[in-house]
Amino acid sequence: MTADESDVEDAGPHSPAVTPAATPAEQLAAAVAAVDPFGGHSFTPLRSEPPPRLYATWWLRYVLALSQLVGIAVVLLREYDTPGGMDALFVVIPHVMAAVMLVGWSALAMIDAARLVPATRYHRRSRAWVAVTLWLGAFVAPVAAIAVIQWARDRFADSGDDAVPIAVGTLAVLVSFVLVWLPFRYHVRQAHRIGAPVGVVAAWFWVPLLAVVGVLAVMALGLHDLLADGGFTDLERTVQVAVLYGVPALVFAMSTWRATTVFDEVIELRWMRWRTEWEQTLTAFAAQPPPGPEASPVIIRP
């Protein structure tokens, strides 16, 4: 065999070179390089939108507290001046003002909570109309219970049967208690949803209730008999009203101020955190390098 023939044999067909398969890490890096226009620099925004606009509720809290304190003072002064004159206009106005401020604060606070904290599977979104409806039911329930008890007493007065009025009165009191409790329960649930101290909001209802029970116990243990000994003077009558009404009303005013303030503080803290995260997102986005030419749009010219 000559050298030329040997060269021809060596130049014969060979098997093609096999390219080794890419590892999963190399495939992932290639995919990131093909998709990421920043050349491997990752950017994860903390917030995708600016913080929402909230309603200012601090002034409602101040007017609410002032109305409650004025209402207590007016009741005591009116009782000292005119016994039983609680239907006067200047006595009703502070209480109506306090009720309006309470409902207004609750509605705006629920709107702010809904804007800041989205609904989850186990916690529904805060709704202002639910809070307003529950407060209206709580205001009407005691009046309706008193009317039902009076109707039952008049209806069955001639029959001599006391079981029916007692049963109707007990049922009316229980229904009224539940209706009064419902708006506080709703605020406790919303406080838990936004991360506010649940115990403070729950005390909004239970602490004044304990104050009412304590006042009734004190009156039953002898304070009423002590004041009534020898007849009521104007001062003794005013002291009795101050104990029966003033103490629970003052406790309710203090617990209301505490609960509403804590709720508003948590709303403000969550909004400030949102704003900080949004500013950090804008700063991090501005610090990103410009995209490479492979991420530039393709311009097709005619």
Residue ranges making up the domain that contains 222: 58-276
Q: What is the pLDDT at residue 171?
A: 92
Q: What is the pLDDT at residue 9?
A: 46
Angle, helix 163-194 to helix 89-116, in steps of 10 degrees: 40
Q: What percent of the chain has pLDDT over 70?
A: 76
Q: What is the pLDDT at residue 23?
A: 62
Number of domains composing the chain: 1
- Min mean pLDDT across 88-97, 103-112, 158-167 is at 158-167
Burial 13-41 (b: 16+ CB within 10 A, else e): eeeeeeeeeeeeeeeeeeeeeeebeeeee
Global model pTM greater than 0.85: no
Instruction: Please state the rounded mean pLDDT for residues 212-221.
Output: 87
Is the pLDDT confidence value at 116 over 80?
yes
Cβ pair 301, 59 in contact under 8 A? no
254-294 residue pLDDT tens: 999 999 999 999 999 999 999 999 998 888 888 877 766 65
Query: Which tokens hold the place of 202?
Result: 């729950």
Q: What are the residues whose beta carbons fall under 8 Å from the beta carbon of 292, sequence distance 6 or more?
A: 37, 38, 39
Q: What is the pLDDT at residue 30?
A: 56
Q: What is the pLDDT at residue 86?
A: 72
Q: What is the pLDDT at residue 169?
A: 84
Q: What is the pLDDT at residue 7?
A: 47
Domain for residue 37, yes or no?
A: no
Domain for residue 176, yes or no?
A: yes
Instruction: Give the number of other CB atoms < 10 A from CB of residue 221.
Output: 10
Domain for residue 109, yes or no?
A: yes
Written as one letter, the residue type at 29 is A
Domain for residue 63, yes or no?
A: yes
Q: What are the residues whose beta carbons fall under 8 Å from the beta carbon of 60, sequence distance 6 or more?
A: 101, 104, 105, 108
Is the pLDDT confidence value at 158 over 70?
no
Q: What is the pLDDT at residue 1?
A: 47
Domain for residue 158, yes or no?
A: yes
Rg (the chain; Cα; Å): 36
Domain for residue 196, yes or no?
A: yes
Q: CA nearest 142: which of 97, 200, 99? A: 99
Is the pLDDT confidence value at 154 over 50?
yes
Q: What is the pLDDT at residue 10?
A: 47
Q: What is the pLDDT at residue 136?
A: 96
Instruction: Please state the rounded mean pLDDT for residues 219-241.
Output: 73
Q: CA nearest 67: which of 88, 86, 95? A: 95
168 falls in which pLDDT band (50, 70, 90)? confident
Domain for residue 24, yes or no?
A: no
Q: What is the pLDDT at residue 161?
A: 66
- pLDDT greater at residue 102 or residue 227: 102
Domain for residue 229, yes or no?
A: yes
Is the pLDDT confidence value at 209 over 70?
yes
